[in-house]
């Protein structure tokens, strides 16, 4: 495990998860546990690729993400998959 900044437990490993939820079903569809030194958009293209193989694309009505995902690459890739 790689080390990353963790103010409550200095020197210990931390994680930076990616999680996809189905809001209506209140279920987790997919989750990846990444090392704490990962940037928010790291591996997002691979995450979306695997997610779209799991889901019926016509059932996706909304995609929400925090500000760490405001880079063009993941969103351009998501638009191409429609």
Instruction: Write out the DSSP string of the chain.
Output: --B---TTSTTSB-EEEEEEEETTTTEEEEEEEEETT--TTTTHHHHHHHHHHHS-GGG-------GGG-SHHHHHHHHHT-
What is the CB neighbour count within 10 angstroms for residue 12?
A: 11
Lowest mean pLDDT among 3-7, 25-29, 61-65: 3-7
Res. 47: pLDDT tops 80 = yes
Q: Does a structural domain hold residue 9?
A: no
Asked if residue 49 is part of any domain, the answer here is yes
Task: Work out the average pLDDT over 48-58.
Answer: 82
Instruction: Determine, yes or no, domain membership for 7.
Output: no
Evaluate whether residue 47 is within a structural domain. yes
Q: Do 54 and 29 touch, CB atoms closer than 8 A? A: yes
Is 3 inside a domain boundary? Answer: no
With respect to residue 52, please indicate whether it lies within any of the assigned structural domains: yes
Q: How many separate domains does the chain show?
A: 1
Q: Which domain holds residue 39?
A: 15-80
In a domain, 8, yes or no: no
Does residue 46 form part of some domain? yes
Does residue 40 carry a pLDDT above 80? Answer: no
Question: Does pLDDT of 28 surpass 70?
Answer: yes
Provide the pLDDT confidence category of residue 78 given band limits of 50, 70 and 90: low
């Amino acid at each position: 495990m790689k080390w990353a900044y963790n103010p409550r437990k200095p020197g210990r490993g931390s994680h930076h998860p990616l999680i996809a939820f189905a809001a209506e079903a209140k279920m987790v569809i997919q989750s990846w546990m990444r090392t704490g030194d990962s940037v928010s958009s790291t591996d997002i293209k691979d995450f979306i690729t695997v997610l779209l193989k799991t889901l019926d694309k016509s059932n996706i009505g909304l995609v929400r993400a925090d500000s760490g995902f405001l880079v063009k690459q993941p969103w351009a890739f998501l638009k191409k998959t429609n």
